[in-house]
Structure 1
Amino acid sequence: MSISSNILRQTSYPGIITAMENNLVEFIMYCSCIPGAQAYHSSDHIAAITGIPQPSLNVVMRTQMDEQTILARIQEVMTPFKVRQVPMLWWIFPGTRPANLGQYLKKSGLQYNGSEPGMALELSHLPAALPQIEGFSIEEVESAAALEEWIHVSAIAFGGAAASIDPEYVRFEQCLGWGKDLPSRRFLGRLDGKAVATSSIFLGAGIAGLFSVGTLPEVRGRGIGTAISMAPLSVARALGYNIGVLQASPAGYSVYSRIGFRECCQIQTYLWSPQ
């Protein structure tokens, strides 16, 4: 079965929100293929622990819990994260139950980590051509050397430093591999030959999820963020995908709005970290 054989055509927000959550679930499960990872589907939640000390790679999602027993259930679900001492996120989408789950997570020792807008775009509305920026080019990551550059730029773009990149995270990205036949694909932007921007896409649940959009601080405000966002979406459209989704940071919201993304929900996260 080809990647493009299950394309979501429904454009109503309830359908898109469900697919957005499913896309993230499939992405996290895909990331859990690395050695030592744990992932499981329960009747009332989904959990994945990669073991990488990055909260977004150790998560609980799609919660449907009984409020009468929820505090005990949360403690049960948290046990493997606490045993492995890895930071984690508990995701709350609009369909999460109970609706007041956040109150119980706080009582259980998790901290509110904020809310981000979930945004969606019909890819038929994506501009036909990428913005033209002098000296700027975009390539797909298809080698170990390009992946090393992608990791380096992404770390700095998201407020880190190249010297502090966790070797475990590097091995994690290497384990995911690269290639046009995979559902997860990375893109690298260069300005006058220097790697300056990153993005990635995950093709799952019938839609295209946009991730890891970042540019180096010194090249922001030149349209590079727009171009590096559009490149993977254009690839998804060429494969026959109809819907693109993302979770927008405050810095990226205006960029995505200009491309044509529209907010369709708010997505909350709660954080637990080892002391």
Structure 2
Amino acid sequence: MEHFNEKQAAAEAAQTFEASLRLWRTLSSCRAKESQGVFLLSTGTAIPDQNYALRTKKGNGAAMAAEALSFFASENMPFTWWISPGTEALSESGEVARAGLPLRCSPPAMLLRLREGRNAAPPFSGGDISVCRTSGEAAEWAASSLEGFGSEPHHLEAFAAFAASMTEEPVRDRFRLLTLSFRGRPAATALLTLPGKTAGLFYFSVLPEFRRLGLGNRLLDRTLKEAREAGCSAVALQASPMGFPLYRKYGFRECGRFLVHSPHPDAC
């Protein structure tokens, strides 16, 4: 078995997460600011888990938290503060909590080294998987993603704009919005970001009525194929409790945990 360097993998997962957020910054639907050593990103969707604060430099935790609170108040957006795995994570977590942003969850950071020929995506009857190319397809993806995560439909207009901006030039080659349709209906979604040699996997979900049919396997097969064909050598993600067993099955390895803080009790 290939040696797994957990510290190196954690650093790679953290770097990919930051690089993905910086890539989202280029989208027409997003607004961002970097000040006081913290990177702030508003996607325009009023869901805490879809707006991000991430420390990028050492500094005063209270001042950074105040900067985040001010920025997202001006955006009228709830948000989450993400702390990457590392030796300073617990210290930063304490500072942020004392500044009024309680810890809400700690999703595992996971990484998979891609190997040629692994996880090939076989055809399957009754369904197909497509990559969104138009704003209309992106809007359908957004509606399905919200349903998969149990988010309220009134967020659709903003989230559809966020998704549609990934189909625009010149950034469209840096994203893959994947929709799995089954028996003529959207059944599962995923977003692959391509900021570098390690891809980031986000918003992976299967709609409730289509769970336990093996569709998550099919979609993950195709998502990993897309990453390989884009020239990536690894994929990183932050796992939900529901997705964790599937990722482990495919060989993703846990390499630490993100600590997610938010002033909003419905975060995570």
Counterparts of 1:193 and 1:178, CA distance in 2: 26
In structure 2, what is the Cα distance between the partners aligned to 1:165 and 1:76?
A: 25
| Alpha-carbon distance in 2 for matches of 1:196, 1:229 | 13
Q: Percent identity?
A: 26
**Aligned residue identity for 2:76:** Q
* 2:45 and 2:159 in contact (8 A); partners too: yes
Q: Which segments of 5 or more consecutive residues in structure 1 lack a partner in the other structure?
A: 1-9
Tell me the distance in 2 between the aligned counterparts of 1:191 and 1:220. 11
Question: Corresponding residue for 1:137?
Answer: 128
Distance 1:178 1:198, change over 3 A: farther
Deviation at residue 206 of structure 1 after TM alignment: 2.2
- The question of whether the paired residues in 1 share the 8 Å contact of 2:192 and 2:199 is answered with yes
1:217 matched to 2:217: no
Are 1:119 and 2:110 counterparts?
yes
3-state secondary structure, aligned to 1:99: helix
Q: What secondary structure does 1:165 align onto?
A: helix
Quote the residue 2:73 is aligned against.
82
Q: Which residue of 1 aligns with 2:148?
A: 157
- Residues 145-169 of structure 1, C-alpha deviation per residue, up to 9 Å, x if partnerless? 32222112111111135x4334222
Distance 1:197 1:105, change over 3 A: same
> CA 1:262–1:223 in 2, change beyond 3 Å: closer, same or farther?
same
Alignment RMSD (CA, Å): 2.7
Q: Deviations over 1:88-139 (max 9, x none)?
A: 1111112374632222222222121101111111110773422554312111
Give, as a single letter, the amino acid of the residue that structure 1 aligns with 2:182.
L
**One-letter amino acid of the structure 2 residue matched with residue 175 of structure 1:** S
What residue is the counterpart of 2:163 in the other structure?
A: 173
Q: Which residue, out of 65, 79, 94, partners 1:103? A: 94
Please, which runs of 5 or more residues in structure 2 have no aligned partner? none
- Pick one of 28, 44, 56 that aligns with 2:21: 28
How far is 1:34 from its partner? 4.2
Residue of structure 2 in register with 1:227 after alignment? 218
The letter of the residue matching 1:242 is: S
Partner of 1:49: 42
Distance 1:35 1:122, change over 3 A: closer
The one-letter amino acid paired with 2:141 is W
Runs of 4+ in 1 over 4 A off after TM superposition: 34-37, 178-181
Report the CA distance shift for 1:51/1:213 in structure 2 as closer, same or farther (over 3 A): closer
Checking the alignment, whether the CA contact within 8 Å between 1:121 and 1:245 is kept in structure 2 is yes
- Structure 2-normalised TM-score? 0.86
SS of 1:120 mapped into structure 2:
strand
CA shift, 1:235, in A, is: 1.5
Offset of residue 43 of structure 1: 6.8
Count residues with an aligned counterpart. Answer: 262
Residues of 1 paired with 2:64 and 2:227: CA distance?
39
Cα separation, 2, equivalents of 1:118 and 1:37: 24
